[in-house]
């Protein structure tokens, strides 16, 4: 599936606006109904547009969903790029608190993206799975890189199991995001979420870092 082919279909400001409108509507519906239950006609009805309009930009539902996943991935990359590099100068535990909180609030500020990414699991469409896996791998690689730097700076034990520790952090983060954001976002206030994030971060800090850096 060639996403660039879809991107090249929209060259004028008006067509780009329409494509973005379709993508934003699709994100809400995919988040609400899931990939398999969502149909192109749902988007058509929601936007009150012609039945053929989405096909001016996307060949089918799969291509639309892939474009949406790519859009979410780009939003994450932009978010990470805009994070201040000054955080790297913070004490290890403070750095982790900031990074963990940033990830949670990224999803909290865009719960539809959280629902789409965190609800995807085994058995998804084969053409979609590599794109979802790429985002997952990006998270994992960032965590693993942080652990290796912690070992290098002697704030994490040198003999720690990097693979296992990476999975503990990733698994905890995704489960918290799913349970408190993707699954039940409407009832979780920012204050409550901040409390949960703080408690979880402190628990992980005691697993990750040497005691003197708690």
Q: What is the pLDDT of residues 77-87, one digit of tens each?
A: 888 777 655 55
Inter-residue contact 9 to 57 (CB < 8 Å): yes
Please give the pLDDT value at position 53.
95
Q: What is the pLDDT of residues 76-115, one digit of tens each?
A: 888 877 765 555 557 889 989 988 998 888 888 888 988 8
Q: Report d(CA 76, CA 139) in Å as an integer.
A: 10
Domain chopping of the chain, boundaries: 3-64, 85-213
Assessment of whether the complete model's pTM goes beyond 0.85 = no
Intrachain domains 3-64 and 85-213 with the same fold = no
Would you say residue 173 has pLDDT above 70?
Answer: yes
The DSSP result for 129-168, as a single string, is HHHHHHHHHHHHHHHHHHHHHHHHTTSS-TTS-HHHHHHH
CATH for 3-64, options being 1.10.10.60, 1.10.150.20, 3.40.50.1010, 2.30.40.10: 1.10.10.60
Determine if residue 121 is left, alpha or beta; phi over 0 gives left, psi from -120 to 50 gives alpha, anything else beta.
Answer: beta
Please give the pLDDT value at position 76.
84
Q: What is the pLDDT of residues 31-73, one digit of tens each?
A: 998 888 999 999 999 999 999 999 999 999 999 999 998 898 8
Please give the pLDDT value at position 139.
86
Q: Does domain 85-213 have CATH number 1.10.357.10?
A: yes
Please give the pLDDT value at position 75.
87
């Amino acid at each position: 599936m060639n996403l660039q082919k879809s991107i090249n279909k929209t060259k004028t400001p008006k067509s780009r606006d329409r494509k973005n409108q379709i993508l934003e509507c699709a994100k809400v519906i995919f988040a609400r109904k899931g990939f398999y239950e969502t149909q192109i006609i749902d988007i058509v009805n929601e936007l009150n547009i012609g039945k053929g309009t989405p096909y001016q930009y996307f060949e089918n539902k799969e291509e639309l969903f892939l474009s949406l996943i790519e859009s979410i991935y780009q939003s994450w990359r932009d978010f990470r790029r805009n994070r201040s590099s000054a955080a790297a100068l913070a004490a290890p535990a403070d750095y982790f608190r900031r990074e963990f909180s940033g990830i949670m609030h990224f999803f909290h500020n865009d719960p539809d993206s959280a629902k789409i990414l965190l609800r995807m699991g085994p058995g998804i469409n084969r053409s979609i799975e590599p794109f979802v896996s790429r985002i997952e791998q990006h998270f994992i690689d960032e965590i693993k890189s942080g652990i290796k730097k912690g070992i290098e700076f002697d704030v994490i034990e040198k003999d720690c199991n990097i693979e296992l520790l990476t999975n503990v952090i990733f698994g905890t983060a995704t489960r918290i995001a799913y349970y408190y954001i993707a699954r039940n976002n409407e009832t979780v206030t920012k204050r409550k979420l901040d409390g949960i994030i703080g408690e979880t971060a402190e628990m992980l800090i005691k697993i990750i870092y040497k005691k003197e850096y708690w």
